[in-house]
A = this chain, B = another copy of it.
Amino acid sequence: MTSVQSTYPEGRVSLREVGLRDGLQLVKTFPSTSAKQRWVRDEYAAGVRHFEVGSFLPAKTFPQFVDVREIVGTIAALPGAHGVALVLNERGANEALASGVAEIGSVVSATEEHSQANANRSRDAAIANVKRLCELRDASAHKPIVCAAISMALGCSIAGPVDPNEVLRLVEKCFEAGVDSVGIADTVGYAGPKQVGDLTRAAVKLAGSKPICVHLHDTRGMGIANASAALDEGARILDGSLGGLGGCPFAPGATGNVVFEDLVFLCESKGFATGIDIEKLVAVRAILRGEMPNEPLYGGLARAGLPRGGIAAKAA
């Protein structure tokens, strides 16, 4: 049994590299399995411990995730490394459980419009799906962590502005369904730091002893500012992708996830020790460039390197 407390120790910041899943969600060409394994191992050597590894989605539609079981195995072989896989339905949940992955994520849209358009189901059906996932977890031998993410939680590409109280209602429903943690996702990068901070504060309060994960996209350049606000308001699990790999399905040409290496810099500069060596991390981008030469990579640290004398920080 994987415990949330040992996976995401309270008081510490846990950064999850989601490039292998969210970063690859939209790509046309993608890395070989062995390149993915080097990607994981080299990041592990740089100090990364939390990885989103892929999705249990139909391999016909998403061939980039056909090797998800092997990546789950690669991570399981690394002491202290933690893998997260995404599932969207019961078939995927059963496959994920069978793979032995340490954490299973699912998604609930913040708006009815997006839920119907994106997943062809109501939000209530998505919550029921989360509940079923928790039941399957409880019946399983290894009992993985289950996390539900509220997508479009800070603005919806279909419905526009989203009422934070509506999001908090869904957060509550997910906890009632039995999840171990809830994610708040600014899927299309609509928010600024005030919105992210306000929602994080309320969600952290609601979650009590359970962790809130904040998943940000840098679509409008606010990613790092929003991460800073989330940290200020008590979020201790944040997602990012190496080089900001990954785009936005609702804004062609737009950037994807917040840049992981810049996120590490942010945390360290705020006094949160991440255990991650930024220069070693930046070097891993060579694997992505080699395997996906047409995918743009972003990030300030990769361009400019560390400051002379290192990262200025005082204990947060």
Contacts and interface: CB of A to CB of B under 8 A. Distances in A.
Given A192-B266, A195-B269, A303-B255, A155 B309 contact: yes
B304 A155 contact: no
11 contacts: A155-B307, A155-B312, A160-B310, A161-B309, A161-B312, A191-B312, A192-B266, A192-B268, A220-B307, A225-B225, A254-B300
A269 B221 contact: no
A68 interface: no
Nearest to A225: B225
A300 B155 CA distance: 16
Most chain B beta-carbon contacts within 10 A, residue among A228, A251, A310 = A228
Q: Tell me how many chains of this kind the complex includes.
A: 2
A298 to B, nearest CB: 8
B220 A221 contact: no
The 4 closest A-B pairs by CB, nearest first: A192-B269, A160-B309, A221-B300, A221-B262
A83 B44 CA distance: 51
A154 to B, nearest CB: 8
Interface in A271-300: 271, 299-300
A218 interface: yes
Contacts of A305: 251
A229 interface: yes
Contact of A220 (B157, B160, B253, B304): B304
Contact of A221 (B159, B301, B307): B301
Contacts of A224: 221-222, 224-225
A270 interface: yes
Interface in A130-176: 154-161
Given A157-B308, A195-B269, 12 more contacts: A159-B308, A160-B307, A189-B300, A192-B228, A192-B265, A193-B270, A194-B270, A198-B314, A220-B262, A221-B299, A222-B224, A251-B304
Given A161-B312, A220-B307, A269 B193 contact: yes
Nearest to A308: B160
A65 interface: no
B194 A303 contact: no
A194 B225 contact: no
Nearest to A305: B251
A270 B228 contact: no
Contacts of A313: 192, 194
B308 A194 contact: no
Nearest to A161: B309
A301 B220 contact: yes
Interface string A178-198: 000000000011111111001
